[in-house]
Amino acid sequence: MGDKEMYKKLVDKLAKNTVLDRDEYLTLIKNKDGVREYAAELAGKVRRQHYGDRIFIRGLIEFTNHCRNNCYYCGIRAGNSCVERYRLSPDEIVSCADSGHELGFRTFVLQGGEDVLYTDDILVDIISRIKKKYPDCAVTLSIGERSDESYKRLKEAGADRYLLRHETVNPEHYKKLHPVDMSHENRLRCLRRLKELGYQTGAGFMVGSPGQTDEDLADEMLFLKELDPQMVGIGPFIPHKDTPLGGESPGSAQMTTFLLSLIRLTLPGVLLPATTALGTIDPMGREKGIMAGANVLMPNLSPAGVRDKYLLYDNKICTGDEAAQCINCLKLRMEKTGYRIVTERGDYK
Which residues contribute to the site for ligand SAM (CB under 6 A)?
Answer: 73-74, 111, 113-114, 142-144, 164-165, 167, 206, 235, 237-238, 240, 277, 312-313
By CB under 6 A, residue 67 contacts ligand FES: yes
Q: At closest approach, how far in Å is the CB of 143 from ligand SAM?
A: 6
The smaller minimum CB distance to ligand FES, of residues 71 and 127, is found at 71
| 8 A C-beta contact, residue 206 and residue 251 | yes
Cα gap 218→259, rounded to integer Å: 10
**What is the DSSP annotation of 177-222?**
HS-TTS-HHHHHHHHHHHHHTT-EEEEEEEET-TT--HHHHHHHHH
Cα gap 107→120, rounded to integer Å: 21
Q: At closest approach, how far in Å is the CB of 4 from ligand FES?
A: 40
Q: At closest approach, how far in Å is the CB of 150 from ligand FES?
A: 17
Q: At closest approach, how far in Å is the CB of 67 from ligand FES?
A: 3
| 8 A C-beta contact, residue 67 and residue 113 | yes
Q: At closest approach, how far in Å is the CB of 83 from ligand SAM?
A: 12
Residue 235, φ and ψ in degrees, nearest 5: -155, 160
Alpha helix (H) ranges present in the chain?
A: 3-15, 22-30, 36-51, 90-102, 120-133, 148-156, 171-177, 184-196, 214-227, 253-266, 276-281, 285-292, 304-307, 323-335
Interface residue with ligand FES, options 11, 76, 137, 177 (CB under 6 A): 76
| Residues pairing with 340 in the sheet | 54
Interface residue with ligand FES, options 29, 71, 177, 262 (CB under 6 A): 71
Out of ligand FES, ligand SAM, none, which partner does residue 57 contact, by CB within 5 to 8 A per kind? none
Q: At closest approach, how far in Å is the CB of 8 from ligand SAM?
A: 31
By CB under 6 A, residue 239 contacts ligand FES: no
Out of ligand SAM, ligand FES, none, which partner does residue 313 contact, by CB within 5 to 8 A per kind? ligand SAM
- As to burial, measured by CB atoms within 10 angstroms (0-12 exposed, 13-18 middle, 19+ buried), residue 125 is middle
The smaller minimum CB distance to ligand FES, of residues 243 and 257, is found at 243
Interface residue with ligand FES, options 59, 100, 113, 202 (CB under 6 A): 113
Interface residue with ligand FES, options 8, 31, 69, 152 (CB under 6 A): 69
By CB under 6 A, residue 109 contacts ligand FES: no
Q: At closest approach, how far in Å is the CB of 142 from ligand FES?
A: 9
- The Cβ of residue 262 has, within 10 Å, a number of other Cβ atoms equal to 26
| 8 A C-beta contact, residue 90 and residue 58 | no
The smaller minimum CB distance to ligand FES, of residues 69 and 183, is found at 69
| Residues pairing with 166 in the sheet | none
Q: Which of residues 154-193 bind ligand FES (CB under 6 A)?
A: none
Q: Which residues bind to ligand FES, rule: CB under 6 A? A: 67, 69, 71, 74, 76-77, 113-114
